[in-house]
């Protein structure tokens, strides 16, 4: 079944169950209440109980008729000002039918008639009862319609967010694959003995990428994948051009974090660090959990390159800090932070996120 149709079926079932629960429970509750009122005019307790129960059966049946009539007015078309007269007329008809059926019941079982004042009061009370039932029906229906509308909007927003996140993540993996294949080709020509090592690193990274299709995964899995990524980059650039180190606490490694959190920062550090850093480019990744927050930092030697507004970076991959900020807000809310610091001779990008409970079954710490 199509998900949207399945959701509509579940909603209709819940509405029907709520209606019948209130309909049956409400009229059962009225039996002792009406019976107690009728003791004023009918001193025979047995007759009072029977008459009170029958009158509520009448009310139950007549309000089902009102329900059938009201269902002809879809919520989108219902206007109280336009339909109020019809509701009032239907309630009057229900009151008249109620009175006729109850008098027929009294005549059939030879019950003593109510005193005139009690009979008039009974008619007024029954009319108010049908009006109150109608008002309650439309009030509950309007509230349920409002909640259903909010739920549909929330589902649409969640679907849009999910699609956006998938698009943003999809921009990362093809970029890495392109770079990795380029490196393998270059190494096959110049250093064939290292091709096996690089190919294994690429395979491990792709295995990680395919295994984690969700938006969150243990941070340790990505840190391990980044080790493979950096090995490929160092093989391509030369060992004298890149020196890297990953340092993380066990708690941070087991913490669920947005996937593709570290890689954009590492890519950014390598791409721009190579332009401004003396050899070798030194890159350091750190991660820890502190005060209920996951703290991840990527620091590289070199200087921050400040682009002018509207200026496109050379060989830009389209994966930038704004991209990452957007994903973090979508996944973690407005409390997620991404800050850039520029100490002397270095660039440091720090990410702070709310730390959920540690994930189980994560990759053992390295």
Query: pLDDT tens digits for 217-242?
Result: 899 988 998 898 888 888 777 778 99
Q: Is the pLDDT of residue 308 over 70?
A: no
For residue 349, give the nearest of 306, 285, 294, 291 by alpha carbon.
285
Mean pLDDT taken over the chain: 79
If you average pLDDT over residues 141-156, what whole number do you get?
A: 78
Query: pLDDT tens digits for 40-96?
Result: 655 566 666 777 788 889 999 999 999 999 988 888 778 888 889 999 999 999 999
- pLDDT value at residue 213: 58
- What does the alpha-carbon distance between residue 94 and residue 81 come to, in Å, rounded to a whole number? 21
Q: Is the pLDDT of residue 4 over 80?
A: no
- 306 burial level (CB within 10 Å; 0-12, 13-18, 19+): exposed
Per CATH, the number for 171-307+314-354 is 3.30.565.10
Q: Is the pLDDT of residue 115 over 70?
A: no
Q: How far is CA 103 from the centre of its chain?
A: 56
Q: Is the pLDDT of residue 336 over 60?
A: yes
Q: Is the pLDDT of residue 152 over 60?
A: yes
Query: pLDDT tens digits for 11-38?
Result: 788 888 898 999 999 888 887 877 776 6
User: What are the domain boundaries of the chain?
Assistant: 3-162, 171-307+314-354
Phi, psi of 36 (to 5 degrees): -65, -40
- What does the alpha-carbon distance between residue 11 and residue 61 come to, in Å, rounded to a whole number? 25
Confidence of residue 245 (pLDDT cuts 50, 70, 90): very high
Phi, psi of 64 (to 5 degrees): -65, -35
If you average pLDDT over residues 139-155, what whole number do you get?
A: 81
Three-state SS across 145-202? Answer: HHHHHHHHHHHHHHHHHHHHHHHHHHCHHHHHHHHHHHHHHHHHHHCHHHHHHHHHHH
Q: Is the pLDDT of residue 362 over 60?
A: no
User: Which is more confidently placed, 283 or 121?
Assistant: 283
- pLDDT value at residue 209: 65
- pLDDT value at residue 315: 44
If you average pLDDT over residues 314-330, what whole number do you get?
A: 66
């Amino acid at each position: 079944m199509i998900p949207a149709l399945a959701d509509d079926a579940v909603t209709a079932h819940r509405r029907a169950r709520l209606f019948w629960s209130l309909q049956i429970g409400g009229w059962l509750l009225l039996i002792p209440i009406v019976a107690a009122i009728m003791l004023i005019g009918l001193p025979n307790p047995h007759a009072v109980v029977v008459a009170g129960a029958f009158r509520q059966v009448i009310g139950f049946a007549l309000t089902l008729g009102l329900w059938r009539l009201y269902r002809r007015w879809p919520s989108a078309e219902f206007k109280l000002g336009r339909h109020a007269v019809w509701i009032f007329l239907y309630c009057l008809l229900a009151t008249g039918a109620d009175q006729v059926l109850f008098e027929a019941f009294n005549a059939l079982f030879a019950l003593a008639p109510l005193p005139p004042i009690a009979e008039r009061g009974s008619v007024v009370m029954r009319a108010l009862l049908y009006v109150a039932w109608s008002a309650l029906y439309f009030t509950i229906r309007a509230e349920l319609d409002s909640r259903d509308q909010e739920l549909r909007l929330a589902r649409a927003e969640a679907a849009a967010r999910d699609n956006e996140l998938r698009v943003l993540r999809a921009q990362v993996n093809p970029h890495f694959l392109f770079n990795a294949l380029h490196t393998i080709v270059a190494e096959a020509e110049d250093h064939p003995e290292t091709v096996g090592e690089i190919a294994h690193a690429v395979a491990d990274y792709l295995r990680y990428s395919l295994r984690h299709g969700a938006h969150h995964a243990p941070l340790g899995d990505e840190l391990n994948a980044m080790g493979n990524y950096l090995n490929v980059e160092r093989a391509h650039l030369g060992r004298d051009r890149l020196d890297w180190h990953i340092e993380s606490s066990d708690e941070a490694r087991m913490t669920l974090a947005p996937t593709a959190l570290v890689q954009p920062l590492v890519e950014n550090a390598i791409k721009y660090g190579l332009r401004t850093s003396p050899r070798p480019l030194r890159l350091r990744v750190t991660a820890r959990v502190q005060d209920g927050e996951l703290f991840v930092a990527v620091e590289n030697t070199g200087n921050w390159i400040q682009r002018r507004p509207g200026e496109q970076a050379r060989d830009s991959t389209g994966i930038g800090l704004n991209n990452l900020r957007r994903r973090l807000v979508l996944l973690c809310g407005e409390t997620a932070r991404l800050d850039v610091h520029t100490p002397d001779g270095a660039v440091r990008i720090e990410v702070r996120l709310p730390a959920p409970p540690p994930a189980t079954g994560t990759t053992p710490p390295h």
